[in-house]
Amino acid sequence: MSRLSRRSFLAGSGAALAAPALRASAQAADVDVAVVGAGAAGVAAARRALAAKARVAVFEAGNRIGGRCVTDSAQLGVPFDLGAHWVHYPDGNPLVAQAAGLDVYSAPRGQTIRVGPRNARDAELESYFAASLRAHRAIDEAAHGKADVAAAQALPADLGAWQSTIAFTLGPFFCGQDLDRVSVQDLGHAGDRERSAFCRQGYGALLAKLAAGLPVRLSSPVTRVDWYRDRVEIATARGRLIARTAIVTASTNVIAADKIEFEPDLPRDMLAAAHNLALGSFDHIGLLLPGNPFDLQRDDLVFEQSAGARTAALLGRVSGTDLHVVEVAGSFGRELSAKGEAAMLDFAREWLTALFGTSVKSLIARAHATRWNEEPYVLGAMSAASPGHAEARSALVEPVGGRLWFAGEALHASKWGTVAGAWESGERAADAALRRMGLLKEPEEDKPARRSRRDEDARSRRKRHRRGEDD
């Protein structure tokens, strides 16, 4: 945990509350806005700042743009989203609105359910969907209660043969965490993600297109951020840079692990929020399976009737290609990933063989597994509030000292865990920072429309008429 001496804590807390106006002149700073991280939030913040004619520098610790939204076409020969793949909220998604030249199409609404090595029968499907509906209603009801308990406590205990399956879809598959580690209020307040889309070229390819031309310094991890004066000083292995303000988009796990040193230390409530918004575990095991051996539809989402936590999901024939992706998540996924890629591939082969009754080993042309928990500048998948800490997201939204803002998927109240949420958070932080520097005007309050002379005359006649009636 960051150093929390009495002196630095009081200094940090006082600065956060006072939030004095920025006094650093443009001439005294190298840039107006320094952005830490070139994921969706960082790209959005940089674009917003550049549109306001601000001087911007973006520092990315890794050797590529995108953060947790990256497409790789080299490993398997087809676009493979290593991180985010589902394009949630397609109708209002700000990235989709700028996806000209890329193919963004609606994801199928249905799911395939397997019971052993066969598809579920009609009666079994009815039973599954009825149990799933009951579970969603129970979570929603508990989310509106006063006690912010673990989501596992709100899950009905009588879901029968579908208990483990539903616990997986609502927990690990949705947010990378088992339900006993997730705030029911946070889960219940997540936006509706039933309607989604896919980008044929990859979600990461879409984000990379929007990042084209940004002043990004790759392989430049920020090691220290000094914000106690009237400026922000960014330190990297390549040197230092002075900014009038900074927007930090590092993951909550990176902040909680002290990968970046802040001087003074961040306020205690912000550090606590980062710890209470820990990233879950979610990895993709990509398999190239030519010839459609499982007879799946394009983008077929497959779950199984599982007997415990040792399960996964399958996204088959991604965008109509030979790419099939086995999704492992939650505590089981974390344990499996820690054993290495070979163990992950062994599980995928074993699981698919049991699911489809066909030996998969000889069918795999190429394979690759992600291990996001081991990525040193990410350390996980998406954030999920721990039980009793649904309010943690709002604690990270407040600026520190009027010079330091945070952004990312973890800071969005309802779209957390999504690229759209990260993007909107980045834009919000940039707007706030630009206004603080006077580079963006405050939004004008809505003013009543000016009445025409005819409207005023009619209004006067109505008043006279009412007075006559009253008399």
Cα separations (Å) of 331 from 144, 171, 181, 335, 468?
27, 10, 10, 6, 78
Q: Which residues, other chains included, contact 44 with Cβ-Cβ below 8 Å and sequence gap of 6+?
A: 94, 407, 422, 423, 424, 425, 426, 427, 430
pLDDT at 439 exceeding the cut of 50: yes
Nearest to 105 by CA among 374, 310, 299, 396: 299
pLDDT score, position 26 = 61
**What is the pLDDT at residue 7?**
34
Residue 166: the pLDDT is: 98
What is the second-level CATH architecture of the domain 110-194+280-374?
A: Alpha-Beta Complex (3.90)
Residue 224 has pLDDT above 70, yes or no: yes
pLDDT at 42 over 50: yes
Q: Tokens standing for 210?
A: 């929007």
Residue 150 and residue 269: Cα distance in Å, rounded?
21
Integer Cα distance of 132 and 159 in angstroms: 8
Q: What is the pLDDT of residue 466?
A: 43
3-state SS track over 123-140: HHHHHHHHHHHHHHHHHH
C-alpha span between 363 and 356 (Å, rounded): 13
The percent of residues in the chain predicted with pLDDT above 90, rounded, is: 85
Residue 455 DSSP SS3: helix
- The candidate with the shortest Cα–Cα distance to 285, out of 343, 322, 326, is 326
Residue boundaries of the structural domains of the chain: 6-65+214-278+378-437, 110-194+280-374
- Nearest-5° angle of CA 17, CA 399, CA 203? 165
Mean pLDDT of the 459-469 span: 46
Which residue, among 191, 195, 165, 455, has the nearest Cα to 330 in the 3D structure? Answer: 165
Q: What is the pLDDT of residue 85?
A: 98
The confidence band for 23, taking pLDDT boundaries of 50, 70 and 90, is: very low
Task: Provide the token pair at 178.
Answer: 């088992």
Peptide bond preceding 108: is omega within 30 degrees of 0, i.e. cis?
A: no
Span of 53-62, 357-366, 408-417, 439-448 with lowest mean pLDDT:
439-448
pTM of the model: 0.89
Assign 307 a pLDDT band (cuts: 50, 70, 90): very high
Question: Average pLDDT, whole number, for the chain?
Answer: 90
pLDDT above 50 for 135: yes
Binned at pLDDT 50, 70 and 90, residue 470 comes out as very low
- Give CA–CA dist 84/104, Å, rounded: 14
Assess whether pLDDT exceeds 70 at residue 312: yes
The reported pLDDT for the residue numbered 444 is 58
pLDDT digits (tens, 9 = 90+) for 241-289: 999 999 999 999 999 999 999 999 999 999 999 999 999 999 999 999 9
Q: Which residues pair with 378 in a beta bridge?
A: none
What is the structure's pLDDT at 230?
87
Calpha distance 253→183 (Å, rounded): 17
pLDDT for 229 equals: 81
Quick one: pLDDT at residue 245?
97
Q: Residue 389's closest CA among 274, 242, 251?
A: 274
Domain 6-65+214-278+378-437 fold: FAD/NAD(P)-binding domain (3.50.50)
Count how many residues are written for the chain: 471
pLDDT beyond 90 at 17: no
Mean pLDDT calculated for residue range 389-411: 96
pLDDT at residue 453, rounded to an integer: 45
- Judge whether residue 449 has pLDDT over 50: no
pLDDT at position 445:
52
pLDDT category, 195, cuts 50, 70, 90? Answer: very high
Q: How far apart are CA 377 and CA 29, in angstroms?
A: 27
pLDDT for res 28 = 84
Which value, to the nearest 10 degrees, does the dihedral of the CA atoms of residues 44, 45, 47, 50 take?
Answer: 180
228 — pLDDT class (breaks 50, 70, 90): confident
Label residue 99 exposed, middle or buried (CB < 10 Å: 0-12, 13-18, 19+). buried
